[in-house]
Chain A
Amino acid sequence: MKTILNLIKKDVVRFLKDTPALILTFVVPAVLIIIFGNIFGGGNDSRGKPEIILVNESNSPAAEFLEEKLDSSDLLQTVKVYHQDGKEIPFTEESAKEFVSKGKITAAVVLPEDFLSDTSSGMKIKFYYDPKNEIESNLIQGGIQKTIFSEMPAIMPYLMQRQMSNLLGSDSGKIFNKKMADLIGESFGFNPDSVFKSMTQIDLNQLQNDSTAAGADFMNNLINIESEQLVGKEIKSPGVTRIVGGWAMMFLLFTLTGASISIFEEKQEGSLRRLLFMPITRSQILWSKYLYSILLGIVQLLVMFFISWVVFDVDIFSNFFNLFVVIVASAFAAVAFGMLITAMSKTIQQANGLATLIVLVMSAVGGSWFPVSLFPNWIQVISKFTITYWSVEAFLDVLWRRASLVDILPNLGVLLATAVVINYIALYLFKKRSVV
């Protein structure tokens, strides 16, 4: 038994000395649990609510009422103005559509002038959306429906009154019902007032939950939502098109950090020293490693997108130039990041542990796995400090909405600027710490 205990002690001592193993065993899972917990609602911080543009062009009190309810919704965050030249400009239907089309926001709800028309018994709502993030898009649609239907009882009497007047003329319904109630009360001995009351009250809850066609028709007559998908209608494989950029970016990071870290392998096997005994400078070695990694990253991303085209018919060619530009910028940023990890580490084990931790966290936080808009606000802020975020958004823009070079310039700018800054820090550390 003593031997076994000593053997266990030996394993514990070795494990505690192994920093990468400690990171992979405790830190990586802990960080991922925190991130996933927050995404799926386990965190204490408020979950980020998806934003929608709300335009109310109607003068109807019912529209005003619905606007108030959408404003105070727990599920959605309404936006009503945008800023241009330092001015606050209220959204119109056209500007709202433009914002959705350009991917600046996922959806817009318009309560049009004819929200309640003279000829219609129900209300009319326009819904414009961009399902580039399917989960977010579904959440928004669900949030709007829930808000409308939960507030229906309050609006319903007004709508019902209008329906009655449309069918029976002004006030005729009431007279008819009153006379019928009096007749039923007299014939069957009921209180005519009670009969009248029950005739004019409809069980709204029952109607809402009515799964029959009649119930659905009734509700559809009351609420007419005109939905229009503004972006991505022509995309053949929307599901794969949405995710391919995120996954490609994650694997790119793994590959390129690995390629940079290979400096340690060459150091360990002695081949790096041999190169330095030859007419080769340290900076030539670093530059070659950098350029090789970028080339590898570009080829890897091209292959991944090519496979998505072959297998899932993802359209990579109609906006290929811009896709290629994003691929190059992403590769630059990812390689710089790999070089930084290498420069910060003392051993290959340390570099591998650090790379695994940072790549997984960046992928989770930056939107490789889930749309960033689903995260709590504080994670959404952090996500903007990851290269994954800017890269994934740019991939989605070029593949989903065929974004132009101008549209993706901010993303390219962030990726390339990050690459320059990180490279500068990495080079400084390489020199200071004599990694090569």
Chain B
Amino acid sequence: MDLVLIQLLNGVQYGLLIFLAASGLTLVFGIMGVINLSHGSFYMLGAYGALTLTQFTGDIFLSLALGVPLAFVFGFIIEWLFIRHLYDRDHLQQVLLTFALILIFNEAQKILWGSYPHSVPVPGYLQGGIKISQFLSYPYYRVAVAAFCVALALAMMFVIQKTRIGRIIRAGESNREMVEALGIDSRLLFRFVFASGAALAATAGIVAAPLESVYPGIGEPVLIISFVVVVIGGIGSIKGAFVGAILIGVADALGKVYFPAFSSSVVYALMAAVLIARPGGLFGRAA
């Protein structure tokens, strides 16, 4: 029973982390219509950025405060340099260019940080854990990450539902041309959305760094699982990304307990089931 409880908590926490990455991906895909394969690279750069920044700051949360604005600016520059040339092109060209970005980022990572795994320390004040039973406890850092992710998710939903920029983002998801025709510069909107997506993926990478080792290619599994979340939740839906990520996290964790031989297939089975029942995703428009 303890194992199931721990796995359930891990699943929810993993899902919350994946939500951060998937929410950026769903915004970029839903509003800009761009399939961004390099999204996982921003997660990787976030994790490696956390490694370097924490060597200077000594605290992962200070690294987060510095790393997120840097990731936003980096995303802004990448959009201006590369992504903006993709809007009027088909998905194949988007895939080719963003795949090329993965290769470039991976090489840059090897040059800057090498091919060996690294670890990022958990801050001293978050060492230890909450006692769940006589033999098990749940790490404070994981609780802190989950709380941070929930707070960020609530903040994002508030921004999307209640603010002017949120209205513009929602409108852009349904009719980009009309947004432009009503006086909103869609170039700036797209640049902002892409940079936000990059910052969200990097945020996930930064807070995840102390949870696992930081290693080459760390972003690729995140990219794949983020696409699964986007498909389950519905393209462009932040709420869908949240629900989809939690479902995936829990399914993955419980799959490891109950179906260890097929655990890696459980999330894809879940995706297939959702696609059969609701082809547009749980919160997406009908396909």
Asked whether A and B interact, the reply is no
User: Measuring CB to CB, which residues of chain A are less than 8 angstroms from any residue of chain B?
Assistant: none
